[in-house]
Structure 1
Amino acid sequence: MSELIAIQTNDNMEQVISARELHEKLGIKERFSLWFERIQKSLNIKEEIDYCRHTYTNSNNQTFNDYLLSIDIAKHICMMSGGENAHAIRQYFIQIEKAWNSPEMVMSRALKLAEKKILSLEEERQKLLPKAEAYDTFMDASNLQPMNDVAKCLGIGRNKLFALLREKKIIRSNNTPYQEYIDRRYFEVKEKPIKMGESVINYAQTFVTPKGVDYIARIVEVEKKGA
């Protein structure tokens, strides 16, 4: 079958054609922009449903606005236009659709969509893998984790994490947890003696248990979704 009009395939595996090329092949004398505006109103076609915006670059490297039309809409336009060219182009579109909807082509498209989905999922998995591995280290660890390390693992800044936990009434203004959360075994507070001149003061440092990391991770996830 000779190609009367170039057929393209969009990201959704749908066949589309250039409105500018259709305008030219139909031999329409009316200016393209006025013609397309008239077509829009006559057929009540909707952007992102029946067509999408596109740009067209000619052989002189000039760029023009264009629209990619579904084959079905293109057939309707041919019927409206009338004339020998319109009839031949419409018949061409009918043959294109018939071939496109053959069992072999349907199966081929299904396989391509499946491959595309698998690639997308693999890319997402690769992005999440370092974070997941770090998180598993926390969950499997028997030792306690400093808040700085927890913030880094969960992909949130230390100060932002402290602010969030203070807002949720989980830690106090001095960044130590309320007793309720210590009792739940989410945190442990260890005092470390620090010598300052002749004096020795006890510095309280908050550590997070593996159970606490899981609890904080859920809070952070909810916060990100609501942002």
Structure 2
Amino acid sequence: MNTLIQITPQLIGTQKTNSVNARELHQNLEIGKDFSSWIKAQIDRAGLEMNVDYIVYAQKGENLSGGRPTSKYILTLEAAKHIAMMSQSKKGKEVRDYFISKEKELQALTVDEPLVLVARILETVSTQNQNILTLLQERNEPRQEFLYIDKPNTRRMHHKLSNEERFIEKVIYILKKEEGINQTELLRRTGKRKDDKSGIKWLHGYDGIYWRANVGKYSSSYSYSLIEEEVAS
């Protein structure tokens, strides 16, 4: 796939993460609105947090028309995917699919010893799964399938974020029972408000990994469906 937008490592807050220049994203989405107004609206609409989802700094000497210097916005790759999806256009889907494809390439490049890495993940996941099952049994809650541990070499793991893991499991469980649920209803069923920033961030962050957001042709909202795991023969 040709390079649409350059993806580079960038320190955002305290984390070094893959990131993109928001102006490049604006250009590739073919937005008619001026960049300054557009990016501020997207940040507000997506509930993005400075130094977590993006950083901004002034570019001195680059405003050829004079006046105040222009601002450079750097977005995390997850934030850029979210904004591309919110554009609800063919171009937005193209850009989002490009990000997902490049993300997979980058992840593959960072694995020097894949078999050793998979073995370590399997060992960690086995212990983690047992701890989760024990916790559910203590609470007398129904046992669920923990789909995200089935293929650790293709699933991104975040062991330190237990609330995030619980959210993933709830969404998977809900979508296995009923697909086509919109974002507001899906958040409600996981016990979160429709404007909950963490829930929205996780929903879009794992889009294309565990579930898929489907944009309606004549609707400004989108529904979710579960991505089925391939079973090895």
Q: What's the TM-score once normalised by structure 2's chain length? A: 0.41
Higher share of residues assigned helix: 1
Q: Which has the larger radius of gyration?
A: 1
